[in-house]
Structure 1
Amino acid sequence: MKRFYPWLICIVAMLMLAISNGMTMTGITAFDPSLLDEFGWSRGQLKFRDMFNLLLAALMSPFVGALIDRIGVRSLALFGSVLLAVLYAAYSQVHSITHVYLIHVGFAAVVVSSGLSVAVIMVSQWFQTRRGTALGIALVGSSLGGMLVPKIIIALLPEHGWRGSFLLMAVIPVALFVLCLALVRSPDGKGLRRWGEGQASNNAGPGCCSSLPDLSYGQALRTRTFWALAVVAVTTFWGIMSLSSHLILNMKDLGFSGEQAGNGMFLLFGLGMVGKFLFGFLADVTTSKKVFVCNVALMAVGSVIIALQHRDLLWTGLIVMGLGWGGLYAILQLQIVEAFGLSAAGKILGTISLMDATSAGLGIWLTAVMFDHFGNYHVAFTVIAVLVAIGLLASFFVRDERRLAFAAAAGEGEGTQASAQDSAVVRGLV
């Protein structure tokens, strides 16, 4: 048991991501039809809460590192699970849209304290080797939450109503609290060791051990690759978050049952999980740039199919969109590391994450506003297709900036050396 404890931590991190992401961002959308029927809000009013959630989480994210250093991942995970349970119980008592907005301010704190950054550091603390594999397992949680949480909620709604279902769902983060309390800890030498501790690490991912010098944060900002990656992230995050946030409502508008709408979410995020593994493997056997462009192309095709709003084609669109998104989610970070190196990867990824979270929040809300104005999702989903097509064009501008910078520096060095030799010859002739 002690030997495999790091892998147990991996599973806990996966469940934490599934619950925190699933219950605050994707699963919560299963309640949307009930809330709209109960209170008569417009979709724009309701979806403004999601923009709150994402923007506030993005603004809080830069402070997570300091909190982890000060109080540790265990304390943050425990806090996040308790807060999520309290907020779901509070959701069962809402009577105005203001109450909803206040709860989603709390959801932002849950995403920060029990989300991606905490999960990544929690797992990384326990792995000296095989860290890439461990993180891959943990990150499956984001897809798992999107697959399972909406289906659980949809199954509860007919018998318990939306208020009772919120209360029952609050039990899940309570169970997560107990699990974290019992299992989450830092390696302390009391019979527990990091995986691979004392071994030489010979399995670093591609590009991690490159002899090419890393680019600084300032240098990265001046490259076309940084802005190309930012455009890809901003456009695709607008697309996938807007689609997933409105998918259940859209499918019900198209005549699907609540159960079928839940299956749509399951398919979208299930294929996303498959895409993470499939395209991660393909990135190892071919170039990551080709896989990256392929992922965005799949998303573009899928978004066009979905924008047609043909009932019979929707499933095909979800399959293609889900596969592309899953691969892109995994490969985007690899592109950042390969293009700029590890030294400033945290700052670069953090900057791009702030931009894509802002875009996702605006996309969710504006998609609802467009529905309220036009009475359907045709225009809103066409906007998604156009944006992802722009992201596809931007993906072709991504390149290995470290290699280019090294080649340029080498060229300048050779030019300087040749110039010095020419000057010496001139001086000799004189």
Structure 2
Amino acid sequence: MSSAAGWHELRGGWTLLVACAVGVGLSAIALPFYAIGPLTRPIEAELGWARADIQLAILFSSGLGALTAPVTGWMIDRFGARRVALPSILGVSLGLLVASYASTLAIFYLGFAATAILGAGTNPVLWSRVVSGSFEKARGAALGLALVGTALVALLLPSLIVALEAYGGWRIALRGTALLPVMIALPLVWVWLRPDARRRAGDGASAGLPGVTVGEALRDYRFWVLALSILLGYLAISGTLTNLVPALIDRGIEAQAAAAFAGAVGITMIPGRVLVGFVVDRIWAPGVAMVVLLLPAAACLVLQDAMAPAILIASCAILGLAAGAELDLLAFLTARYFGLAHYSKIYALAYAGLAMGSATAPFLFASLHDRTGSYGTSFLVAGTFFAIAALLMPLLGRYPDTFVDDRSSAT
């Protein structure tokens, strides 16, 4: 990457990056995911629901998000990113508001399902499409900066929810969360989501851009290697992060302290997103991904029974690094191996696997807790998934020369 050209792109598109960062952070995927952990014990205490049943709500948000992702990709190409994003932001708020009034699991699940369906246009398919199409010289860095919004939510939301819950209960905490998309994301996206007109990124047109068709991508082994690696990585990330706060509280750590430890995930997600984005513009991305995924494999083994604050902070920080990098890597690798001509649809299919991992892991890991009485087995499973995901990455091989721009395709 030419440094001067890359910095020029980033400076010229900073308002677009801010809009994307806020949009993805306050999305139908991020808000339910990072809210469910600190809400689990208060809901359990008030309504008597099992933890696994509470965390199953993520299956209805992320799971339906996975099912709607291909449709979202088609809608972006057909109608443009802005027309899809704006009504979807309202949908996120409405769905979470419904969940806050639940007195039965059915209504609780309905709220999370409504968040996914009505807010489908806020998932990372849209924001990644806009950024990948608007930036070329600094694409990895731009993706890292745009997707940093989920890191900020991971950092701030647990403590906000704990504070609101202490003030007025879990329902008030969830209603406060529901206000965030309307109050913050909607005005910024309305004003600043203006994809580069020259490249027509995410603006309903991909004609003339290089890339394979959806069918060609599905016949390429690299699509399945990438999708499997991302799926395993997100099974590990999602299962661990959503259960981290209740796991620490079970060890006798105060709720606010547990939320602070979980906040370390958000702190390192930010440099994880940004630094990995800058690095993959210069170094072979699958090699970077392998290193990033091996580190949390070790951290999960430590988290099985760690109590020392320094060790907990370090382990959570490593998890944040991986959580920060995974989504960026999927977006970047999809563009580098399959091009931009049908990016929205190809990325949406790969993202569906990621979303299914995010949807099922919280329930599966909470179920392991309910069966064993601890989260030790869950952390061991997560570490194994991280390790396999890391070892799959080098199988992607060299970048296709067709989509190289001015960067080296060498491994």
TM beyond 0.5? yes
Alignment counterpart, residue 13 of structure 1, candidates 20, 26, 41:
20
Displacement of 1:371 in angstroms is: 1.0
Post-superposition Cα deviations, 1:49-94, rounded to whole Å, max 9, x if no partner, equal 1112111111111111343456544443332332333333333321
Q: Secondary structure at the match of 1:109?
A: helix
Are 2:280 and 1:271 aligned? no
Are 2:249 and 1:249 aligned? no
5+ residue gaps, structure 2, are 1-10, 200-209, 403-411
Alignment counterpart, residue 379 of structure 2, candidates 357, 378, 381:
381
Aligned length: 380
**Counterparts in 2 of 1:46-195, with a 5 A limit?**
46-68=54-76, 72-121=80-129, 133-176=141-184, 179-180=187-188, 183-184=191-192, 186=194, 194=196
Task: Name the structure 2 match of 1:329.
Answer: 327
Task: Name the structure 2 match of 1:33.
Answer: 41
Are 2:237 and 1:237 aligned? no
Q: Which has the higher contact order (CA 8 A, sep 6+)?
A: 2
Task: Name the structure 2 match of 1:303.
Answer: 300
Post-superposition Cα deviations, 1:122-141, rounded to whole Å, max 9, x if no partner, equal 55787688665544322111
Post-superposition Cα deviations, 1:349-393, rounded to whole Å, max 9, x if no partner, equal 333222222233222211111111111111122111122222233
Are 2:328 and 1:320 aligned? no
Are 2:238 and 1:227 aligned? no
Instruction: Return 337-346 or 157-166, whichever deviates more.
Output: 337-346
Instruction: Return 270-279 or 20-29, whichever deviates more.
Output: 20-29
Q: Secondary structure at the match of 2:253?
A: coil
Displacement of 1:403 in angstroms is: 6.3
Post-superposition Cα deviations, 1:313-366, rounded to whole Å, max 9, x if no partner, equal 332221222223323432343334434444455444333222222233222211
CA contact (8 A) 1:47 1:368 kept: yes
Task: Name the structure 2 match of 1:392.
Answer: 390
Post-superposition Cα deviations, 1:230-284, rounded to whole Å, max 9, x if no partner, equal 2211111100011111111111112221212222222112212211222233334
CA contact (8 A) 2:141 2:281 kept: no
Task: Name the structure 2 match of 1:44.
Answer: 52
Tell me the percent identity.
Answer: 24
Query: Judging changes above 3 Å, is the alpha-carbon distance between structure 1 residues 271 and 246 closer, same or farther for their aligned structure 2 residues?
Result: same
Give the number of the structure whose alpha-carbon radius of gyration is greater.
Answer: 1
Post-superposition Cα deviations, 1:80-120, rounded to whole Å, max 9, x if no partner, equal 33233333333332111111110011121254122223334
Give the counterpart letter for 2:332 in structure 1: L
Determine the C-alpha separation between the residues in 2 that align with 1:352 and 1:182.
28
CA contact (8 A) 1:272 1:323 kept: yes
Determine the C-alpha separation between the residues in 2 that align with 1:281 and 1:185.
23
CA contact (8 A) 1:214 1:402 kept: no
Query: Judging changes above 3 Å, is the alpha-carbon distance between structure 1 residues 81 and 225 closer, same or farther for their aligned structure 2 residues?
Result: closer
Query: Judging changes above 3 Å, is the alpha-carbon distance between structure 1 residues 63 and 380 closer, same or farther for their aligned structure 2 residues?
Result: same
Give the counterpart letter for 1:350 in structure 2: A
Give the counterpart letter for 2:270 in structure 1: M
Determine the C-alpha separation between the residues in 2 that align with 1:295 and 1:397.
16
Task: Name the structure 1 match of 2:291.
Answer: 294
5+ residue gaps, structure 1, are 188-193, 199-212, 405-430
Determine the C-alpha separation between the residues in 2 that align with 1:285 and 1:181.
30
Instruction: Return 96-105 or 74-83, whichever deviates more.
Output: 74-83
Give the counterpart letter for 2:366 in structure 1: A
Query: Judging changes above 3 Å, is the alpha-carbon distance between structure 1 residues 79 and 225 closer, same or farther for their aligned structure 2 residues?
Result: closer
Displacement of 1:186 in angstroms is: 4.6
Query: Judging changes above 3 Å, is the alpha-carbon distance between structure 1 residues 179 and 144 closer, same or farther for their aligned structure 2 residues?
Result: same
CA RMSD of aligned residues (A): 3.1
Query: TM-score normalized by structure 1?
Result: 0.78
Task: Name the structure 2 match of 1:371.
Answer: 369
Displacement of 1:183 in angstroms is: 1.5
